[in-house]
Protein backbone atom coordinates (compact mmCIF):
# COMPACT_ATOMS: atom_id res chain seq x y z
CA UNK A 1 0.00 0.00 0.00
CA UNK A 2 1.12 3.56 -0.73
CA UNK A 3 1.01 5.74 2.38
CA UNK A 4 -0.36 9.14 1.36
CA UNK A 5 -0.41 12.49 3.09
CA UNK A 6 -2.35 15.49 1.79
CA UNK A 7 -1.21 18.99 2.79
CA UNK A 8 -3.76 21.77 2.55
CA UNK A 9 -6.66 19.41 3.09
CA UNK A 10 -9.66 21.77 3.22
CA UNK A 11 -9.87 23.06 -0.36
CA UNK A 12 -11.69 21.83 -3.46
CA UNK A 13 -8.70 19.97 -4.94
CA UNK A 14 -8.01 18.21 -1.63
CA UNK A 15 -11.66 17.19 -1.35
CA UNK A 16 -11.58 15.78 -4.86
CA UNK A 17 -8.29 14.01 -4.13
CA UNK A 18 -9.82 12.41 -1.03
CA UNK A 19 -12.88 11.29 -2.98
CA UNK A 20 -10.61 9.47 -5.46
CA UNK A 21 -8.01 8.11 -3.04
CA UNK A 22 -10.53 6.68 -0.57
CA UNK A 23 -11.58 4.27 -3.35
CA UNK A 24 -8.05 3.66 -4.63
CA UNK A 25 -7.16 -0.02 -4.02
CA UNK A 26 -3.43 0.64 -3.45
CA UNK A 27 -3.59 3.69 -1.13
CA UNK A 28 -3.69 4.24 2.60
CA UNK A 29 -4.35 7.86 3.58
CA UNK A 30 -2.24 8.38 6.68
CA UNK A 31 -2.87 12.10 7.22
CA UNK A 32 -4.80 15.08 5.90
CA UNK A 33 -2.97 18.19 7.06
CA UNK A 34 -4.71 21.42 8.01
CA UNK A 35 -3.24 23.43 10.88
CA UNK A 36 -6.47 25.42 11.26
CA UNK A 37 -8.76 22.36 11.35
CA UNK A 38 -6.61 19.79 13.21
CA UNK A 39 -8.78 17.33 15.15
CA UNK A 40 -11.89 18.06 13.09
CA UNK A 41 -13.48 15.22 11.09
CA UNK A 42 -12.62 15.49 7.40
CA UNK A 43 -16.28 14.80 6.52
CA UNK A 44 -17.35 17.97 8.35
CA UNK A 45 -15.44 20.03 5.81
CA UNK A 46 -16.02 17.77 2.79
CA UNK A 47 -19.69 16.88 3.22
CA UNK A 48 -19.74 14.48 0.27
CA UNK A 49 -17.45 12.21 2.34
CA UNK A 50 -19.95 11.77 5.19
CA UNK A 51 -20.16 8.03 5.77
CA UNK A 52 -17.09 7.44 3.59
CA UNK A 53 -14.32 8.10 6.11
CA UNK A 54 -13.60 8.68 9.81
CA UNK A 55 -10.35 10.55 9.09
CA UNK A 56 -9.55 13.61 11.19
CA UNK A 57 -7.55 16.60 10.01
CA UNK A 58 -4.03 16.63 11.45
CA UNK A 59 -1.31 19.23 11.91
CA UNK A 60 1.49 16.84 10.93
CA UNK A 61 2.37 13.91 8.71
CA UNK A 62 3.82 10.61 9.96
CA UNK A 63 5.82 8.63 7.40
CA UNK A 64 4.27 9.04 3.96
CA UNK A 65 5.52 7.55 0.71
CA UNK A 66 4.09 10.55 -1.14
CA UNK A 67 2.78 13.98 -0.16
CA UNK A 68 0.23 15.80 -2.29
CA UNK A 69 0.53 19.58 -1.88
CA UNK A 70 -2.93 21.13 -2.29
CA UNK A 71 -1.84 24.51 -1.01
CA UNK A 72 -2.45 27.97 -2.39
CA UNK A 73 -0.20 29.10 -5.20
CA UNK A 74 3.16 30.16 -3.82
CA UNK A 75 2.79 28.19 -0.57
CA UNK A 76 4.35 24.88 -1.61
CA UNK A 77 7.89 26.24 -1.39
CA UNK A 78 7.21 27.47 2.14
CA UNK A 79 5.82 24.06 3.14
CA UNK A 80 8.91 22.25 1.87
CA UNK A 81 11.17 24.73 3.65
CA UNK A 82 9.32 24.50 6.95
CA UNK A 83 8.88 20.73 7.14
CA UNK A 84 11.49 17.99 7.24
CA UNK A 85 10.32 15.65 4.51
CA UNK A 86 12.25 12.37 4.16
CA UNK A 87 14.41 12.30 1.06
CA UNK A 88 12.68 9.14 -0.21
CA UNK A 89 9.21 10.70 0.15
CA UNK A 90 7.85 11.75 -3.21
CA UNK A 91 6.10 15.07 -3.72
CA UNK A 92 3.26 15.93 -6.11
CA UNK A 93 2.49 19.65 -6.15
CA UNK A 94 -0.94 20.73 -7.40
CA UNK A 95 0.00 24.42 -7.23
CA UNK A 96 2.08 26.47 -9.65
CA UNK A 97 5.30 26.75 -7.65
CA UNK A 98 7.38 24.29 -9.68
CA UNK A 99 5.77 24.19 -13.12
CA UNK A 100 8.14 26.74 -14.61
CA UNK A 101 10.92 26.67 -11.99
CA UNK A 102 11.44 22.94 -11.41
CA UNK A 103 14.54 23.02 -9.17
CA UNK A 104 14.04 23.53 -5.45
CA UNK A 105 16.87 22.60 -3.10
CA UNK A 106 17.77 18.98 -3.81
CA UNK A 107 14.41 18.26 -5.45
CA UNK A 108 13.77 18.45 -9.18
CA UNK A 109 10.18 18.45 -10.39
CA UNK A 110 9.04 16.79 -13.62
CA UNK A 111 6.17 18.54 -15.39
CA UNK A 112 3.28 16.13 -14.87
CA UNK A 113 1.50 16.08 -18.21
CA UNK A 114 1.20 12.31 -18.55
CA UNK A 115 0.43 12.36 -22.26
CA UNK A 116 3.79 14.01 -23.02
CA UNK A 117 6.11 13.07 -20.15
CA UNK A 118 4.94 9.58 -19.19
CA UNK A 119 8.43 8.04 -19.15
CA UNK A 120 9.96 10.88 -17.11
CA UNK A 121 7.09 10.73 -14.61
CA UNK A 122 7.63 6.98 -14.14
CA UNK A 123 11.19 7.76 -12.97
CA UNK A 124 10.37 10.96 -11.08
CA UNK A 125 10.70 11.62 -7.38
CA UNK A 126 8.76 14.89 -7.63
CA UNK A 127 6.05 16.07 -10.01
CA UNK A 128 4.59 19.50 -10.74
CA UNK A 129 0.96 18.96 -11.71
CA UNK A 130 -0.12 21.10 -14.70
CA UNK A 131 -2.75 23.80 -14.35
CA UNK A 132 -6.36 23.10 -15.30
CA UNK A 133 -6.63 25.54 -18.21
CA UNK A 134 -3.15 24.51 -19.33
CA UNK A 135 -4.07 20.81 -19.39
CA UNK A 136 -7.17 21.43 -21.47
CA UNK A 137 -5.34 23.62 -23.97
CA UNK A 138 -2.13 21.58 -24.19
CA UNK A 139 -3.97 18.34 -24.90
CA UNK A 140 -5.74 20.09 -27.77
CA UNK A 141 -2.47 21.32 -29.29
CA UNK A 142 0.11 18.59 -28.58
CA UNK A 143 -0.45 16.65 -31.85
CA UNK A 144 -0.09 19.85 -33.90
CA UNK A 145 3.09 20.74 -32.02
CA UNK A 146 4.45 17.22 -32.55
CA UNK A 147 4.22 17.79 -36.31
CA UNK A 148 5.54 21.38 -36.03
CA UNK A 149 2.27 22.71 -37.43
CA UNK A 150 1.81 25.63 -35.01
CA UNK A 151 3.28 28.31 -37.24
CA UNK A 152 0.66 31.02 -36.81
CA UNK A 153 -1.16 32.64 -33.90
CA UNK A 154 -3.30 30.37 -31.75
CA UNK A 155 -6.62 31.74 -30.52
CA UNK A 156 -8.16 30.29 -27.35
CA UNK A 157 -11.45 31.12 -25.70
CA UNK A 158 -12.04 28.95 -22.64
CA UNK A 159 -14.65 29.05 -19.90
CA UNK A 160 -14.25 27.51 -16.45
CA UNK A 161 -16.51 26.70 -13.52
CA UNK A 162 -16.43 28.57 -10.23
CA UNK A 163 -14.43 25.84 -8.44
CA UNK A 164 -11.44 26.88 -10.54
CA UNK A 165 -11.18 30.01 -8.37
CA UNK A 166 -10.73 28.00 -5.17
CA UNK A 167 -12.84 27.62 -2.06
CA UNK A 168 -12.19 30.98 -0.45
CA UNK A 169 -15.13 33.22 -1.44
CA UNK A 170 -14.54 36.40 -3.39
CA UNK A 171 -16.45 39.06 -5.29
CA UNK A 172 -16.41 37.07 -8.55
CA UNK A 173 -17.16 33.67 -6.98
CA UNK A 174 -20.19 34.79 -4.98
CA UNK A 175 -23.44 33.14 -6.15
CA UNK A 176 -25.08 36.51 -6.81
CA UNK A 177 -22.29 37.37 -9.24
CA UNK A 178 -21.80 34.01 -10.92
CA UNK A 179 -25.41 32.95 -11.38
CA UNK A 180 -26.70 33.67 -14.91
CA UNK A 181 -23.45 35.50 -15.63
CA UNK A 182 -20.30 35.17 -17.75
CA UNK A 183 -17.23 37.41 -17.54
CA UNK A 184 -13.70 37.66 -18.94
CA UNK A 185 -10.66 37.77 -16.67
CA UNK A 186 -6.89 37.97 -17.23
CA UNK A 187 -7.20 38.21 -21.05
CA UNK A 188 -3.87 37.53 -22.79
CA UNK A 189 -2.04 37.45 -19.41
CA UNK A 190 -3.18 34.25 -17.67
CA UNK A 191 -0.48 32.54 -15.58
CA UNK A 192 -0.88 29.23 -17.41
CA UNK A 193 0.49 30.69 -20.65
CA UNK A 194 4.10 30.10 -19.60
CA UNK A 195 3.72 26.37 -18.99
CA UNK A 196 1.70 26.01 -22.21
CA UNK A 197 4.54 27.63 -24.16
CA UNK A 198 7.24 25.42 -22.61
CA UNK A 199 5.19 22.32 -23.33
CA UNK A 200 4.48 23.07 -26.99
CA UNK A 201 8.19 23.56 -27.62
CA UNK A 202 9.01 20.34 -25.75
CA UNK A 203 6.42 18.50 -27.85
CA UNK A 204 8.28 19.36 -31.05
CA UNK A 205 7.19 22.77 -32.34
CA UNK A 206 10.27 24.68 -33.54
CA UNK A 207 8.99 28.06 -32.39
CA UNK A 208 6.51 29.40 -29.87
CA UNK A 209 3.53 30.89 -31.66
CA UNK A 210 1.65 33.77 -30.11
CA UNK A 211 -1.15 32.34 -27.99
CA UNK A 212 -4.10 34.69 -27.63
CA UNK A 213 -5.85 33.25 -24.58
CA UNK A 214 -9.08 34.78 -23.30
CA UNK A 215 -10.28 32.96 -20.14
CA UNK A 216 -13.86 33.34 -18.95
CA UNK A 217 -15.76 32.66 -15.74
CA UNK A 218 -18.83 30.48 -16.21
CA UNK A 219 -22.08 30.23 -14.27
CA UNK A 220 -21.50 26.57 -13.36
CA UNK A 221 -19.37 24.86 -10.73
CA UNK A 222 -16.97 22.56 -12.56
CA UNK A 223 -15.52 21.88 -15.97
CA UNK A 224 -13.54 23.69 -18.68
CA UNK A 225 -14.73 24.16 -22.24
CA UNK A 226 -12.04 25.44 -24.62
CA UNK A 227 -12.55 26.60 -28.21
CA UNK A 228 -9.18 26.77 -30.01
CA UNK A 229 -8.25 27.61 -33.58
CA UNK A 230 -5.24 28.43 -35.72
CA UNK A 231 -4.46 28.61 -39.43
CA UNK A 232 -4.33 25.30 -41.25
CA UNK A 233 -1.72 24.90 -43.99
CA UNK A 234 -3.30 21.81 -45.51
CA UNK A 235 -0.04 19.84 -45.46
CA UNK A 236 -2.10 16.85 -44.40
CA UNK A 237 -5.60 16.06 -45.51
CA UNK A 238 -8.29 16.77 -42.96
CA UNK A 239 -8.98 13.07 -42.57
CA UNK A 240 -5.28 12.33 -42.07
CA UNK A 241 -5.00 15.02 -39.39
CA UNK A 242 -7.93 13.63 -37.42
CA UNK A 243 -6.45 10.15 -37.83
CA UNK A 244 -3.11 11.41 -36.49
CA UNK A 245 -4.81 12.88 -33.42
CA UNK A 246 -6.37 9.51 -32.68
CA UNK A 247 -3.05 7.71 -33.20
CA UNK A 248 -1.21 10.25 -31.02
CA UNK A 249 -3.51 9.52 -28.09
CA UNK A 250 -3.92 5.81 -28.74
CA UNK A 251 -1.82 4.90 -25.68
CA UNK A 252 -3.41 7.60 -23.49
CA UNK A 253 -6.28 6.01 -21.56
CA UNK A 254 -8.11 9.25 -20.77
CA UNK A 255 -7.90 11.31 -23.97
CA UNK A 256 -10.43 10.60 -26.71
CA UNK A 257 -11.11 12.22 -30.07
CA UNK A 258 -14.82 12.39 -30.80
CA UNK A 259 -16.18 12.37 -34.34
CA UNK A 260 -19.25 14.22 -33.07
CA UNK A 261 -19.42 17.65 -31.37
CA UNK A 262 -18.88 17.45 -27.61
CA UNK A 263 -20.44 19.13 -24.58
CA UNK A 264 -19.09 19.81 -21.10
CA UNK A 265 -21.26 17.39 -19.10
CA UNK A 266 -19.63 14.46 -20.88
CA UNK A 267 -16.43 14.88 -18.82
CA UNK A 268 -17.65 16.24 -15.48
CA UNK A 269 -16.62 13.94 -12.58
CA UNK A 270 -14.22 12.02 -14.85
CA UNK A 271 -10.49 12.07 -15.61
CA UNK A 272 -11.18 12.34 -19.34
CA UNK A 273 -10.26 14.95 -21.89
CA UNK A 274 -12.48 14.88 -24.97
CA UNK A 275 -11.44 16.54 -28.23
CA UNK A 276 -13.38 17.35 -31.39
CA UNK A 277 -11.72 18.64 -34.58
CA UNK A 278 -13.21 20.58 -37.48
CA UNK A 279 -11.84 22.60 -40.41
CA UNK A 280 -13.30 25.91 -41.58
CA UNK A 281 -12.11 28.51 -44.12
CA UNK A 282 -8.40 27.73 -43.77
CA UNK A 283 -8.49 27.14 -40.00
CA UNK A 284 -8.36 24.06 -37.80
CA UNK A 285 -10.74 24.33 -34.86
CA UNK A 286 -10.36 22.10 -31.80
CA UNK A 287 -12.83 21.81 -28.96
CA UNK A 288 -11.30 20.47 -25.75
CA UNK A 289 -13.14 19.69 -22.51
CA UNK A 290 -12.05 18.51 -19.05
CA UNK A 291 -13.23 18.56 -15.47
CA UNK A 292 -11.02 21.22 -13.88
CA UNK A 293 -10.97 19.39 -10.52
CA UNK A 294 -10.26 15.91 -11.91
CA UNK A 295 -8.21 15.79 -15.13
CA UNK A 296 -7.32 19.43 -14.48
CA UNK A 297 -6.10 18.80 -10.93
CA UNK A 298 -6.67 15.88 -8.54
CA UNK A 299 -7.34 13.10 -11.05
CA UNK A 300 -4.25 13.98 -13.03
CA UNK A 301 -2.28 14.06 -9.76
CA UNK A 302 -3.42 10.50 -8.97
CA UNK A 303 -2.59 9.46 -12.53
CA UNK A 304 0.93 10.82 -11.93
CA UNK A 305 1.16 8.97 -8.61
CA UNK A 306 0.17 5.72 -10.32
CA UNK A 307 2.96 6.14 -12.85
CA UNK A 308 5.51 7.07 -10.18
CA UNK A 309 4.75 3.90 -8.19
CA UNK A 310 4.61 1.52 -11.15
CA UNK A 311 0.83 1.04 -11.15
CA UNK A 312 -1.48 1.02 -14.14
CA UNK A 313 -2.13 4.72 -14.62
CA UNK A 314 -5.90 4.19 -14.66
CA UNK A 315 -5.98 2.67 -11.14
CA UNK A 316 -8.70 4.32 -9.07
CA UNK A 317 -9.62 6.64 -11.93
CA UNK A 318 -12.29 4.75 -13.85
CA UNK A 319 -14.87 7.35 -12.83
CA UNK A 320 -18.32 7.59 -14.39
CA UNK A 321 -19.61 10.95 -15.58
CA UNK A 322 -23.20 12.09 -16.01
CA UNK A 323 -24.30 13.54 -19.32
CA UNK A 324 -27.69 14.73 -18.00
CATH code of the domain covering residue 123: 3.40.50.720
Our answer to whether residue 132 is catalytic in this structure is yes
**CATH number of the domain encompassing residue 138:** 3.30.360.10
Residue 284 and residue 204 share a domain: yes
Residue range(s) defining the domain that contains residue 44: 2-130+295-308
Residue 283 and residue 136 share a domain: yes
What is the predicted pLDDT for the residue at 257?
98
Residue 248 and residue 198 share a domain: yes
If you write DSSP's letter for every residue of 195-237 in order, what string do you get? HHHHHHHHHT-SS---EEEEEEE-SSSS-EEEEEEEE---SS-
Is it the case that residue 320 has pLDDT exceeding 90?
no
Residue 218 and residue 187 share a domain: yes
Residue 166 and residue 75 share a domain: no
Is it the case that residue 74 has pLDDT exceeding 90?
no
Neighbouring-strand partners of residue 288: 226, 275
Is it the case that residue 72 has pLDDT exceeding 90?
no
Residue 181 and residue 101 share a domain: no
* Confidence bin at 305 (pLDDT 50/70/90): very high
Is it the case that residue 77 has pLDDT exceeding 90?
yes
Q: What is the mean pLDDT of residues 219-226?
A: 95
Residue 191 and residue 48 share a domain: no
Residue 301 and residue 271 share a domain: no
Which of 70, 114, 132, 273 is labelled catalytic?
Answer: 132
Q: What is the mean pLDDT of residues 235-250?
A: 96
What is the predicted pLDDT for the residue at 172?
83
Residue 141 and residue 283 share a domain: yes
CA distances (Å), origin 161, targets 16, 48, 216: 15, 19, 9
Looking at the domain assignment, is residue 88 inside a domain? yes
**CB-count exposure of residue 48 (10 Å: 0-12, 13-18, 19+):** exposed
**Cβ–Cβ < 8 Å for 140, 286:** yes
Q: What is the mean pLDDT of residues 250-268?
A: 97
Looking at the domain assignment, is residue 321 inside a domain? no
* Confidence bin at 73 (pLDDT 50/70/90): confident
Residue 300 and residue 258 share a domain: no
Looking at the domain assignment, is residue 217 inside a domain? yes
Residue 249 and residue 122 share a domain: no
Q: What is the pLDDT of residues 105-158, one digit of tens each?
A: 999 999 999 999 999 999 999 999 999 999 999 999 999 999 999 999 999 999
* Confidence bin at 100 (pLDDT 50/70/90): very high
Q: What is the pLDDT of residues 162-202, one digit of tens each?
A: 988 777 777 887 788 889 999 999 999 999 999 999 999 99
Is it the case that residue 239 has pLDDT exceeding 90?
yes
Percent of the chain past pLDDT 70, that is, above it, reads 100
Looking at the domain assignment, is residue 320 inside a domain? no
- Specify the number of domains making up the chain: 2
Higher pLDDT, 183 or 36: 183
**Cβ–Cβ < 8 Å for 275, 256:** yes
- Which of 23-37, 63-77, 162-176, 218-232 has the lowest average pLDDT? 162-176
Residue 142 and residue 281 share a domain: yes
Looking at the domain assignment, is residue 322 inside a domain? no
Amino acid sequence: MINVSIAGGTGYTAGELLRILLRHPEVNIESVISTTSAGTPVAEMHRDLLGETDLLFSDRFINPDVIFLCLGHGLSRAFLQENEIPENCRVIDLGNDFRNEPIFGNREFVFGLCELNREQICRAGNVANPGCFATTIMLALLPLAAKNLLQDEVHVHAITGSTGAGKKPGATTHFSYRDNNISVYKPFTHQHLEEIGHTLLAAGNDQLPQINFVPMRGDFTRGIFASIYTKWDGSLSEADMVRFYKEYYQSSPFVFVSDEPISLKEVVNTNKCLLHIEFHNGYIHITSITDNLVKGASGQAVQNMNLMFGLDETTGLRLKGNAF
